[in-house]
């Protein structure tokens, strides 16, 4: 099962996530980081930046990208990641790959992205947020657990949730390119973070509910190496919270996050 760690706040989760990433990367020659967008990973990026590690050789793959935004749009995930991850962490922008949403070549974009991940040797650590509807990446409810990178239609819920980054919901694209659940499952370690009461139901369903395409985040139950970092509010609907606290408080020193 996933290791579930209930922390006081998003900053503490960011520090643990950064630590998990850096400890793994210390053992790897050419580390590959799966980066996420949205509000959730920001404390992890901050903690990584203040750790001061040299990440200039780290190859990164984004989970997803909007389809239909003009190139260079400030809310395109390429632009968001350049701003929030590449610059503060000192990553090499040439080593950040984002699914290519150019209209002319959209039909082959998924296949090309999968090939690029494979050529890089796969993702070592994948950062994940979770949507209020249970999505990871932009795999909306109903996504095949075996899906690969492809074009998806966003749910109205997701577009409402992301409207805060745009002037209105009408400007949030209806389509995206996203790594599939099968793609995410291939990463060697998953770190899923969630903060706030509006994520509590999705977290409980993903961690403790049945594995189901109806809750794409439940894919984590099929993965052998997962860390879930949640604040108290996001943990509030977990049935086994006491057990997770007990396990973490008594974790053997040699067991890594």
Binding-site ranges for ligand PGA (CB under 6 A): 38-40, 129-131
Beta-strand pair 150-153/175-178: antiparallel
Catalytic entry in 65, 133, 161, 231: 133
Token code pair at residue 228: 């879930």
Cβ closer to ligand PGA: 174 or 247? Answer: 174
Identified catalytic residue from 84, 124, 140, 161: 140
CA-nearest of 77, 148, 70 to 102 is 70
**Rounded-to-integer distance, Cα 154 and Cα 66, Å:** 10
d(CA 136, CA 158): 11
Nearer to ligand PGA, 5 or 10 (CB): 10
Q: Is 220 exposed, middle or buried (0-12, 13-18, 19+ CB in 10 A)?
A: buried
39 or 239: CB nearest ligand PGA: 39
Give the residue with the Cβ less far from ligand PGA, 53 or 79.
79
Structure-block tokens of residue 115: 């090939």
Task: Determine whether 161 is an active site residue.
Answer: no
Looking at the Cβ atoms of 44 and 124, the one nearer to ligand PGA is 44
Say if residues 76 and 83 touch (Cβ distance below 8 Å): no
Backbone angles phi, psi at 249, to 5 degrees: -65, -25
Nearest distance in Å: CB 220, ligand PGA: 13
Return d(Cα 172, Cα 119) in angstroms, integer: 32
Active site residue 167: no
| Catalytic residue selected from 3, 64, 114, 124 | 64
> Is 135 annotated as catalytic?
yes
Q: Nearest distance from residue 246's CB to ligand PGA, in Å?
A: 28
Let me know if 140 is a catalytic residue.
Answer: yes
Please name the residues in contact with 119: beta carbons below 8 A apart, sequence gap of 6 or more.
none
Q: Which residues are catalytic?
A: 64, 133, 135, 140
């Amino acid at each position: 099962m996933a290791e579930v760690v209930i922390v006081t706040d998003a900053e503490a989760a960011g520090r643990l996530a950064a630590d998990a990433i850096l400890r793994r990367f210390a053992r790897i020659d050419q580390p590959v980081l799966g980066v996420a967008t949205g509000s959730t990973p920001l404390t992890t990026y901050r903690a990584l930046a203040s750790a001061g590690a040299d990440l200039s050789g780290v190859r990164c793959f984004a989970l997803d990208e909007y389809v239909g935004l003009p190139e260079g749009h400030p809310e395109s995930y390429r632009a968001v990641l350049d701003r929030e991850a590449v610059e503060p962490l000192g990553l090499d922008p040439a080593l950040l790959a984002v699914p290519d949403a150019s209209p002319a070549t959209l039909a082959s974009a998924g296949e090309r992205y999968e090939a690029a991940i494979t050529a890089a040797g796969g993702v070592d650590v994948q950062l994940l947020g979770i949507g209020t509807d249970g999505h990871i990446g932009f795999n909306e409810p109903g996504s095949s657990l075996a899906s690969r990178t492809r074009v998806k239609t966003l749910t109205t819920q997701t577009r409402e949730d992301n409207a805060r980054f745009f002037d209105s919901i009408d400007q949030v694209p209806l389509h995206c390119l996203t790594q599939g659940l099968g793609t995410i499952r291939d990463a060697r370690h998953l770190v899923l973070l969630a903060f706030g009461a509006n994520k509590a139901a999705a977290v409980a369903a993903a961690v403790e509910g049945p594995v189901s395409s109806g809750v794409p985040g439940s894919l984590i139950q099929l993965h052998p190496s997962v860390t879930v970092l949640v604040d108290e509010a996001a943990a509030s609907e977990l049935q086994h919270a006491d057990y997770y606290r007990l396990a973490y408080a008594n974790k053997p020193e040699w067991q890594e996050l």
